[in-house]
Structure 1
Amino acid sequence: MSRPVLYLFGSAAPPVQQIPGVVRRAQAAGFDVCLGLTPTASRWLDSERPLLEQLTGRPVRSEYKQPTEADPWPKADVIMFAPVTFNSMNQWALGLTNHFVIGVVAEGIGKRIPTVAMPCVNDAYAQHPQFQRSVETLRNAGVSVLYGPGGFEPNEPGKGRPEHYPWHLPLAAAARLVGTGP
């Protein structure tokens, strides 16, 4: 039996720097992992790219492929987008697909690919009226957004603790979405 394919996407919030360990945890949970990053997250992890490509056995993607190129990844069984920044949440909810990761998750809604997302925003961003609308828009579209009690809870600006980002929550949710988790 083949392993379910997890598209693991991350945007430029400090927890994204833990992504090599997250790839390993996802693989240990039984996933075949394909890693995609927003452009800024990709720059942040540029020195990790060889390790990440070795771990996944595939290119780390942050840009759209050329129309004539074959897709280097298999089709996703589930998408996990974490951490998701304020900017990425709003772009996704508004359908602004100028970046590869946002384009894939936006299209994933229409393709009915099970998707879990967990934001990483501070309380000041969370109070912006568009953020709450974006969370609700994505939830209404079928995305499992882990935000609020039982998910990510915002911190005060400047008081983030990326080492405490609850990676286990979206990993467990992704496993449940494909029927491999508790």
Structure 2
Amino acid sequence: MSAEPEVVLGVGGGIAAYKVCELLRRLTESGHRVRVVPTDEALRFVGEPTWAALSGQPVATGVFDTVHEVPHVRIGQGADLVFVAPATANLLAKAAHGLADDLLTNTLLTARCPVVFAPAMHTEMWEHPATQANVATLRSRGAVVLDPAVGRLTGADTGRGRLPDPAALFAVARRVLARGAGTADLAGVRVVVSAGGTREAIDPVRFLGNRSSGRQGYALAATAAARGASVTLLSANVELPDPAGVDVRRVTSARELREAVLEGAATADVVVMAAAVADFRPDTVTASKIKKTAGTTPAPIALVENPDILAEVSRERARPGQIVVGFAAETDNVLDNGRAKLARKGCDLLVVNQVGDGRAFGTADNQAVVLTAEGASVEIERGPKEDVADQVWDLVATRIPGDTGSGR
């Protein structure tokens, strides 16, 4: 990849095209050379002068514009990444069937770099069997097709089909550019990731919790989606934006998380338990706020043990060949405690990191040692949590069989 990565930003004819202006701005301001290739329909929503001004590059839709430069071949050949947003149902169909009736679809046929589609359309169009078949075809060829977000669509409609936020799309573009060829190595793999920290109610106001921010779990979900996986993220009390292409489901307590994990694990190829799960919960939850009475000692809070989700999922694999990854946050005797936990839990990989004194919880970076069920250990040096996540997925990928039964 060149020092100034070449990105082709394909823009489909959907109302969400206006959001892509922000994605373009983020790409250019971070040092990427961006060539915008819209469809004719896209220009009905955002005009050519806007794309040209924001990118600093000429904008064309047809193969006969500046034909002496052979743009229908040259643009795709020189790209480090082709990113299509919004990818309409019509554009996905054309790409899946190899149609080439404009500059963008010709570019898609000539590109030999990673290709990412960010679909946006009404829910009924996304769920239609024809669209789903086209998405499956593109994914089978190595393209990354993100699942659309859930939210407000055009008019009064709400549902799955919304274009993810530009910041989330930019994060995907960066991850794909960082990996380059072979980006979609997790295509067809169904993944469940838990993130954050559970909370156990004491009364309507107070709870037992922990310091987990959920950043590492969110990084695991985001990087898996950028590598082509179908990702369900179980988010426990996290205040972070949803990663692009990820199905996010909210939970609060350990018992809620257990139900969600078991439901997701039933069809998952990989389960990653990155959430910090409370070991104990109050035996009883008072209906009213516990009041402080001057001169009296508060009654002790009796605790009961929460279910051990990681051990249960590891012990009762829902599918043959299912891979289970656990996390261990330790303050001392890190490796000894990690090896003991791996033996107790029975998972395939255990990611062990030291916490406290500004490490791991709430930070943008992390470092870890990954212990394997076979007794090996792999050190992951300190770096952004997205890089740590990618290295964890590298280890997971070596354990995934050639056919997981989910499309691989």
Structure 1 residue 157: Cα displacement:
7.1
Alignment of 1:89-128 (within 5 A): 89-108=92-111, 111=112, 113-128=113-128
* Corresponding residue of 1:177: 176
2:84 equivalent among 81, 84, 88: 81
Higher strand share: 2
Residues 11 and 84, structure 2, Cα contact 8 Å, conserved in 1: yes
Structure 1 residue 136: Cα displacement:
0.7
**Quick one: structure 1 residues 91 and 164, their matched pair in 2 at CA, closer, same or farther if it must change by over 3 Å?**
closer
* Corresponding residue of 2:54: 55
Residues 15 and 165, structure 1, Cα contact 8 Å, conserved in 2: no
Aligned partner of 2:53: which letter? Q
Name the CA distance, whole Å, in 2 between partners of 1:163 and 1:133: 19
* Pair 1:9-2:10 in alignment: yes
Aligned partner of 2:4: which letter? R
Name the CA distance, whole Å, in 2 between partners of 1:164 and 1:132: 17
Aligned residue-pair number = 174
Residues 54-84 of structure 1: CA deviation (Å, up to 9, x unaligned): 3322111211136851156761111110110
Structure of greater Rg = 2
Residues 149 and 163, structure 2, Cα contact 8 Å, conserved in 1: no
1:152 equivalent among 136, 149, 160: 149
TM-score, normalised by the number of residues in structure 1: 0.81
Residues 7 and 36, structure 1, Cα contact 8 Å, conserved in 2: yes
Residues 98-139 of structure 1: CA deviation (Å, up to 9, x unaligned): 12112211332xx2x111111001111122211001111111
**Quick one: structure 1 residues 140 and 130, their matched pair in 2 at CA, closer, same or farther if it must change by over 3 Å?**
same
**Quick one: structure 1 residues 156 and 25, their matched pair in 2 at CA, closer, same or farther if it must change by over 3 Å?**
closer
Structure 1, unaligned runs of 5 or more: none
**Quick one: structure 1 residues 64 and 153, their matched pair in 2 at CA, closer, same or farther if it must change by over 3 Å?**
farther
Residues 7 and 79, structure 2, Cα contact 8 Å, conserved in 1: yes
Name the CA distance, whole Å, in 2 between partners of 1:20 and 1:126: 23
Identity of aligned residues (%): 24
**Quick one: structure 1 residues 96 and 122, their matched pair in 2 at CA, closer, same or farther if it must change by over 3 Å?**
same
Aligned partner of 1:145: which letter? V
- Secondary structure of the 2:68 match is coil
Higher relative contact order (CA 8 A, sep 6+): 1
* Corresponding residue of 2:240: none
Q: Say what the alpha-carbon RMSD is for the aligned residues.
A: 2.9
Residues 148-168 of structure 1: CA deviation (Å, up to 9, x unaligned): xxx534767742699974223
**Quick one: structure 1 residues 34 and 23, their matched pair in 2 at CA, closer, same or farther if it must change by over 3 Å?**
same
**Quick one: structure 1 residues 175 and 71, their matched pair in 2 at CA, closer, same or farther if it must change by over 3 Å?**
farther
